[in-house]
Amino acid sequence: MLGLIWLASPALPVGGFSYSEALEAAVEANLANGEQQAGDWLLAQLQLSQARSDLAVVAEAVAAWQAGDHARVQALDAWLRCTRESAEFVLQTEQMGRSMLEWLKLQHGDAVAAFAGLTPCYPVAFAFAAARAGAQPREACLAFAFGWAENMVAAAVKAVPLGQSAGQRMLQRLAQAIPAAVEQALATPEDARQAFAPMLAILSAQHETQYSRLFRS
């Protein structure tokens, strides 16, 4: 449990705090202004994007790492890369995956041998760390989802902007929805995984040339 709390913490030096995952562009486009609207945006992102894509991959990757199925891990990583529809999203998952790998090197010097030259996307690297901590897929997904939610709410507090109390109310909404999103991810078969969120991709691409911005995505 402590290992998972550690992995989910925004304080973990993987750089999650520097990304808004297009939320900043949504604020610029007047699609996520104010507590209610920004909360709705993040809730939709959890249900339509995270649950159907990243969380489903985390669940499968944890099982694959535990089974030592490296071919499966590489296939999941390749699928994730295909779902990153903007340059920003590609750079984010690669940078965070690489940073997780570097952090694991410091904690467990022999950990990187398992990657056999693969520089994984962040969800795959997180799944490895969670599996190493002894987590089961459901536990790993819950931790991953809450870590994502904390980072996104922190981004909303800065970008909208919002007060800390509003941020906590948004986090409460997300926390209440996370268990159902995780159950959806666990029940999603491989041929039903998807990352179809066209507005998210468009806003991410627009954010690349946004005049003024706080975040890297």
Is residue 28, in this structure, part of any structural domain at all?
Answer: no
Q: What tokens appear for 83 in the block? A: 């779902």
The string of pLDDT tens digits covering residues 83-137 is: 999 999 999 999 999 999 888 888 776 666 777 777 899 999 999 999 999 999 9
Is residue 159, in this structure, part of any structural domain at all?
Answer: yes
Is residue 211, in this structure, part of any structural domain at all?
Answer: no
Q: How far apart are CA 71 and CA 116, in angstroms?
A: 11
**Which segment of 51-55, 98-102, 140-144, 185-189 scores lowest on mean pLDDT?**
98-102
Q: How far apart are CA 84 and CA 82, in angstroms?
A: 6
Parent domain of 151: 33-206
Q: Look at residue 213 and give its three-state secondary structure.
A: coil
Is residue 21, in this structure, part of any structural domain at all?
Answer: no
Q: Are 57 and 193 in contact (CB under 8 A)?
A: yes
Instruction: Give the model's pLDDT for residue 105.
Output: 83
Instruction: Give the model's pLDDT for residue 122.
Output: 97
Is residue 174, in this structure, part of any structural domain at all?
Answer: yes
Is residue 23, in this structure, part of any structural domain at all?
Answer: no
Q: What tokens appear for 106 in the block? A: 């410091």
The CATH number that applies at residue 49 is 1.10.4190.10
Residue indicated by tokens 């987590």: 135
Number of domain units in the chain:
1
Is residue 93, in this structure, part of any structural domain at all?
Answer: yes
The string of pLDDT tens digits covering residues 187-217 is: 999 999 998 899 999 999 999 999 888 998 8
Q: What is the mean pLDDT of residues 64-80?
A: 94
Q: What is the pTM of this model?
A: 0.95
Instruction: Give the model's pLDDT for residue 109.
Output: 67
Is residue 7, in this structure, part of any structural domain at all?
Answer: no
